[in-house]
Amino acid sequence: MPVTRAPFGVTGDGQAVEVWTLTRGALEAEILTFGAAVRALRVPDRDGKALDVVLGYDTLAEYEHNGGYLGALVGRYANRIAKARCLIDGAVVPLEASEGENQLHGGVRGFSYRVFQAEAAGDSALRLTYTAADGEGGFPGALTLTATYTLTDRGLRLRYEAVSDKATYCNITNHSYFNLNGGGDAMGHRLWLASHQFTPVGGGSIPTAMSAPVSGTPLDFTGEKALARDIGADCGQLRLVGGYDHNFVLDPAQGLRLAARLTGDRTGVSMEVWTTKPGIQLYTANFLDPGTPGKGGVPFGPRQGVCLETQFFPDSPNHPEWGDVLLRPGGRYDHTTEYRFRAD
């Protein structure tokens, strides 16, 4: 069967969680109803052998308590909002702080820690839904989110649709840690980004401006290079966050467009990221706990995964001049990201 499901445990508050498996040709994805997380994503390497290219855990308890947002859908608003407050039509709205004085990834229990309803949506697709209550995480409005995960001939497509009954903010991303070698250090991976600007950060990883040129800095990925080449450079931006953890402003384009290309250094597997979003966060797993047990008990740690999180820019709710990201009643949030794979 192209779409199957099985129990994956019960949360601490008594909610049953399932793992759904999607299959299409040589591709296979495991999706949890907890956090709509991509638990596994298997693609063929250059020898045709199935290779799991995302980090994950064996048990539900690890997803509940270990942190790191492994594979999770992140929201209501991905990334950081300064001082846990936002502006809506000129009014200051207090939010739930979850990282010091700031909010990260929607609050203490954002969408990554919620149980979604799930149903098959075709031979190789899964539809997940969650309704966030008015005030959840501090955000106004009851917001209904539908996430449709589809295996295509080339990879995995994620489509996010949301509506709200009040003016609110919505910024959904996926927080998979990719390792195209199937495990081990990922800093030998080569990366190209369709971006000539990045968002500089200060204390608390809060943006200090919308954009600055990448030219002449270690954050220049306009030419493909290994992540290891510059990650240890003497650069204030890298020292602040222990590596790469920055939003990149994608070069202007319309519709679904190529944003990034990541290539493993041992397996011949490469991945393209296509998106309708204006930004992408590069995060090199700087803060994963060393020796964390992963799938099959194999440990992982810092710099053993690469996140490429498509998004609106961090702290945009406090900077309307960076673009209108407010979702209003009667409006619709509708964005797509695709991960496309090949092996050479």
Number of other residues whose CB lies within 10 A of the CB of residue 276 = 18
Write the pLDDT tens digit of every residue in 274-321: 999 999 999 999 999 999 999 999 999 999 999 999 999 999 999 999
* Whether residue 96 lies in the annotated active site: no
User: Band of the pLDDT at 67, cuts 50, 70, 90?
Assistant: confident
Q: What is the pTM of this model?
A: 0.98
pLDDT digits (tens, 9 = 90+) for 240-260: 999 999 999 999 998 999 999
List 28, 30, 309, 338, catalytic entry: 309
- Per-residue pLDDT tens for 125-184? 999 999 999 999 999 999 999 999 999 999 999 999 999 999 999 999 999 999 999 999
| Distance from C-alpha of 93 to C-alpha of 317, rounded to nearest angstrom | 10
Task: Encode 245-258: b = buried (16+ Cβ within 10 Å), e = exposed.
Answer: bbbbbbeeeeeeeb
* Catalytic residue (choose from 175, 189, 246, 335): 175
The C-alpha atoms of residue 21 and residue 32 are separated, in whole angstroms, by 9
The predicted-structure confidence for 198-239, as pLDDT tens digits, reads as follows: 999 999 999 999 999 999 999 999 999 999 999 999 999 999
119 an active-site residue? no
Parent domain of 269: 3-343
Report whether pLDDT(1) > 80.
no
Count of domains forming the chain: 1
Q: For position 228, which CATH number holds?
A: 2.70.98.10
pLDDT digits (tens, 9 = 90+) for 85-117: 999 999 999 999 999 999 999 999 999 999 999
Strand stretches in 207-324, DSSP E: 212-213, 225-226, 245-249, 257-263, 269-275, 279-283, 292-293, 299-300, 307-311
Cα 118 to Cα 31, 46, 158, 175, 334: the distances in Å are 10, 33, 14, 19, 19
